Amino acid sequence: MIPKLNRKTTSFMVNSLISSTHLLILVFSLIVSVATAETNTLNRGNGAEPDSLRPHLAQGLNSHNILHDIYEGLFTYNETGQAVPGAVARYEISDDGLTWDFYLKDNASWSDGEPLTAADFIFAWQKAVSPDTVAPYAFLFANMQRDGQLRISSDQASHLRIQLNQIDSALADKLLLPVFAPMPKHQPDEPVYNGAYVLSEHRPHEWIALHKNRHYHSHETVRIPVIRYIVTENQNSELLKFRAGELDITETVPDNQLDWLRKHYPKALRVAPYNGSFFLGLNLADKHLQDKNLRTALYWAIDRDILVDKVLKSGQKPAAGLIPTRNNERNAFDLYKAREYLAKSDFKVDSERLDLLYNNSNNQKKTALAVAAMWRQNLGIKTRLHNQEWKVFIKTRQGPNKQVFRGGWIADYKDPLNYLQLFESDSRFNYYQFNDADYDQLVQQIRATSDKNNRNDLIKQAESILQSELPLIPLYFYVSRHLVKPQIKGYSDNLADKHLSRYLRF
C-alpha cells in the first residue's frame, strides 16, 4: 500500500531535492573551474634563466624559445619545424636570387594595436648592426651590407626589399632567428610585441609568463591563453616537477633516468634526432694547448662509444667531426695514437693539470667526469673540473681565462656553413683563439659558391683543417629529449626541435 504524503512531507522532500541539486551544480561548477584553470596555462620547462629577452642580444636556446613566441619575423616555424612565411602575406625572389621582396600581412600589428610596417624591420635591423648594440648574430647581416650600409629599403608601409651581395639559399632559415625580428619604431623602449603572445611577467630564476596577444594576426588559432616558461636548470628537479603535474613539457630529461622513463612514461617520453653537435672547445692561446701534439692526444684518448652508450644513454651518435654527417658519425678513439702524440708533446703529466669548464647541469657534469676519467686512465692527465651557472659560464667562455671548455652548437639554419663560421678568425663565437688564413679563405669561398658539388668539396676541405688543427674535440651529435603530456596536441618532433606555443593545445 502506497503511503499518503501530507503537505509537510511533500514540502520537505522538494526542498531537499532542490538543496541537493544546488549542491550538485556547485560541485560541478567547481570541477569545471578547476579544469578550465588547468587548461588555461601551459607550463614549459626551459632550462637555465634566459641570457637575454632582447632579440638582438639573445644567444641561448632558452632565450630563443621565448622570443619565438613573442616576436614574429618575416619567416616563422610551422608545426614540423620548417620555415614558412610569418608576418608576410607573400614574397618574391628575383631570377638572379639577389633581390627578395616581402609584402606584409594587412592585419599584422603590434600588441598595442599599431600596424606592423616595413619601417619596423628596417629600424630593428639597423639597430642590430650598430656597433653600440654588439649583437652576437650581427654577422648574419653581412651579405646584405655594402660600404657599411644595409641594402634594405621600403617604398610603402607593407613592402620590404632585401638586396644581397651573393645568392644565399639558406636566407629563409636565417630570417627565422630572433635577431631578424622587428622592433616597434613607434615605441622602441616599451614592452610591445608582434608575436602570438606578449611577455606579461618575469620573475628571474623562477619563471616567465606570457599571455595571448589579442592583436596577433592569427589570434583565433592560438588555443592556450597563458604560457609559463619555468626555469629548470636542475634536470632531476625538472623531472620531479613533471611527475608532480607542475610541468606539461620538460626542457630535457636526465640521462640516468631514461630507462626508467621508457618503462613508466612511454607515452610522454620523446627522443628524436636533432641538428646539433656537442664538442669541447680548446683555448689555443693557452700555453699548454698551443701544443698541437697535446690537442691531438686529447682528441684520440676519448672513447665516444662508451660516452654515448654507457654514460649518456640517450641515443646520441659518436662524433669524429664537427658537422652532423654519416662520415663524421664514428668513434675516433685510438689509444696508440693518443699516447704517441702525448709522448711528442711538452706536457708534463706528473706536475701539470688541465682545467675543464662546463655549465651547471647534471648531464654536463656526467660528460665532464667521463672525459676527465678517460684522460686520466688513458694518458695519465689529471683534470680539474669547474662548473658555473649558465650566465656566468657564458661570460667566462668568452673571456681568456679558460683551457678546455664545454662547447656545442645547435644549427640555427640548415647549412654546414652555420657550423664552420664559428671558427673564423673574426667570428664573435671564436672562443678558441683559432686563427687560420687558409680556413678563413675557404669559408669565404663557401659563402660565394652556389654550385653544390664545388661547395661540398670546399666544406670537406674546411672540416679537414679543423680536424687537423683541432680547436675543438667533437664528442657526439645531439638528440632532443623531452617529456610531453600525452593530452597535449600539436607537438611534433623535428630536427630543429622547435615547438612554438601557438600550435599547442590540450
Write phi, then psi, for 72 (nearest 5 degrees): -135, 125
Higher pLDDT, 12 or 479: 479
pLDDT at 273 over 60: yes
**Residue 382 bridge partners (DSSP):** 353
Q: How confident is the model at residue 260 (pLDDT cuts 50, 70, 90)?
A: very high
Bridging pattern class, strands 197-203 and 99-104: unpaired
**pLDDT at residue 26 greater than cutoff 90:** no
pLDDT bin (cut points 50, 70, 90) of residue 4 is: very low
pLDDT beyond 70 at 62? yes
Handedness of CA 155, 156, 157, 158 (dihedral sign): negative
- Is residue 434 pLDDT above 80, yes or no? yes
Per residue in 149-178, pLDDT tens? 999 999 999 999 999 999 898 899 999 999
Residue 39 has pLDDT above 70, yes or no: no
pLDDT at 447: 86
9 pLDDT more than 60: no
Residue pLDDT, tens place only, 377-406:
999 999 999 999 988 999 999 999 999 999
N- to C-terminal Cα separation, the chain: 55
Length of the chain in terms of residues written: 506
Q: What is the pLDDT of residues 442-472, one digit of tens each?
A: 999 998 887 889 999 999 999 999 999 999 9
Percent residues over pLDDT 70 in the chain: 92
**Digit-coded pLDDT (tens) for 291-343:** 999 999 999 999 999 999 999 988 899 999 999 998 999 999 999 999 999 99
Specify the pLDDT at position 313: 87
Burial class for 419, CB neighbours closer than 10 Å (0-12, 13-18, 19+): buried
Q: Which has the closest alpha carbon to 148: 132, 170, 167, 126? A: 126
Q: CA 96, CA 119: separation in Å to the nearest integer?
A: 26
- Mean pLDDT of all residues in 88-110: 97
**Across 140-184, where does the E strand assignment appear?**
145-146, 149-150, 152-156, 159-163
Provide the mean pLDDT of the chain.
91
User: Are 129 and 135 in contact, with CB atoms under 8 Å apart?
Assistant: yes
